[in-house]
A and B are shown apart, each in its own frame.
Chain A
């Protein structure tokens, strides 16, 4: 049995790889959407935070000798804490300015962080061993899944769902959504909007940190691992529109799968296909798939 002359195993394998890439796109664009909702800042430093998460995982393993599960908890907390410092020290004082300044400021922060990591750790990749539990494969019959990669997809799905529930279904989430709509009115009700804004940035940063930990065993842990990724994630965000969190998640996975399928049918275009999809979306629906504003 073949599909357009390609064996289905090959196609399913690439769909799986696409889902793994999509997991990172979804986690990162979800974080970007949460941050943008409250801060009105496009966080250019998101790729650097992702890289910091991967390095934090590497440090817990290489320096502290802790296992993967410890890294999965410690790294997002550490990156979230760093996010808190960034928000309080820098971002906070530019909220009243043109939104483009937020992009420029976080771009500078990204350059600074990545430059310092390169200075400290060199440009070469750091080895990160896959935890023992996830060595080997799961044979699902129609496709073979390396255990760790399957875990990444599941972990990312669960995290996305949890964050979505937190924001759409809890009281804290309703405060966050209300503050997104009208911060002045929310603060009239005695809710500390400044604290909410900070926690939105911390949540976004922690999500980026978590993606970094998940990525550490798959990709090379290098200071520049986040830079190229963040530009792709921007294209995902433009395609999906900033309208909804679920939109960001769906577009993230979808773009990953499209990229994976392109690797089967026309490998030369796989590095640009996401940008092409973005361009097509701009032609058909400039506001993006889930975007509300014109």
Chain B
């Protein structure tokens, strides 16, 4: 499992280190933030089988809290990020506590509704500045040494933080805790009979996922020096679902690939005449109808069986793709 991922991960890291030669650092930062956000979302969907349609609530909370700490309290960037993570995790614990009582479609609807509630609260709360958002952020010096006003320094700081976060996600899904999560996803009654409390494990995973999404939002606010309502909208929640779907559900690198594709697509489509929702909607339909394995999932199955197998309904592999994970 580990060995099959070493090469792609190293290649990706090398590519990301030389990418600023070709692309603007701020564009790459956006991609990294989206990738971390998608990984946080996928931690729930891919490993616990829970589809959250309200993850923008945590992304946006991270952004607002980081912006608040940087712009109004003049905290150091690392402390501002920690604050953003802590508040997002707390919010995740509350929303998770309510949402893990239901599964499947209901879970998706509940997270969507609670995410919308968070949006309305931020819309009315005075500190968020309503439609204007929080502006006037000065990122300062990371750990007291790295000057974040330099775009390249900012980029490598964000790259370092996201890499660390990804390492943490990898560690978690490989840990006994991650294995229990997968066991609950595969067969919940059996996990219960083995003495595990699924609700508690789901809540822990939800909180952790919310914390990571908050970190992604905080990094975005710190880098773009603004936090706005856009980050809390249900469209943002939908976008992260699409990223994961395009990249491939159930693969570790899928969300990263999907985030890069959707983030890049958005940048490219900013000049097009058609509104972005049309393209995103079409991408959703295409993915669900024809491309359920996503990019990483397709690549994986191509690598695993170079000799093409005939796909029949009896083939366990075809059956497996009918489920949303693995």
Contacts and interface: CB of A to CB of B under 8 A. Distances in A.
Interface of A: 42, 90, 93-94, 96-101, 103-105, 107-116, 118-119, 227-228, 231-232, 234-235, 237-238, 268, 271-272, 275-276, 278-279, 282-283, 286
Nearest to B284: A108
Given A272-B117, A272-B121, A282-B102, A110 B281 contact: yes
Interface centre among B238, B277, B283 (most CB of A within 10 A): B277
A268 B120 CA distance: 10
Interface string B277-315: 111111111011100100000000000000000000000
B277 A278 contact: no
B106 interface: yes
B116 A231 contact: yes
B19 to A, nearest CB: 30
B123 to A, nearest CB: 8
B49 to A, nearest CB: 9
Dominant secondary structure of chain B at its interface with chain A: helix
A98 B323 contact: yes
A100 B102 contact: no
Interface residues of B, number: 45
A100 B104 contact: yes
A94 B288 contact: yes
B110 A282 contact: yes
A105 B284 CA distance: 6
A232 B112 CA distance: 10
Contacts, number: 131
Contact of B109 (A94, A105, A116, A238): A238
Nearest to A32: B109
Interface centre among B281, B283, B292 (most CB of A within 10 A): B281
B97 to A, nearest CB: 9
Given A115-B280, A119-B274, A282-B102, 7 more contacts: A93-B289, A99-B105, A100-B51, A100-B104, A103-B53, A108-B285, A272-B117
Nearest to B319: A96
Interface centre among A100, A101, A116, A235 (most CB of B within 10 A): A100
Interface string B312-326: 000000000011100
A156 to B, nearest CB: 22
Interface in B220-277: 234, 238, 241, 245, 273-277
B72 interface: no
Contacts of A111: 238, 277-278, 280-281, 284
Given A98-B322, A99-B104, A101-B288, A112 B282 contact: yes
A114 B276 CA distance: 11
Interface in B146-181: none
A294 to B, nearest CB: 9
Nearest to A228: B116
Contacts of A232: 113, 116
B120 A108 contact: no
Interface string B114-151: 10110011011000000000000000000000000000
B274 A115 contact: yes
Contacts of A276: 117
B98 interface: yes
B283 A108 contact: yes
Given A99-B104, A111-B238, A114-B277, A238 B113 contact: yes
Contacts of A113: 281
A109 B284 CA distance: 8
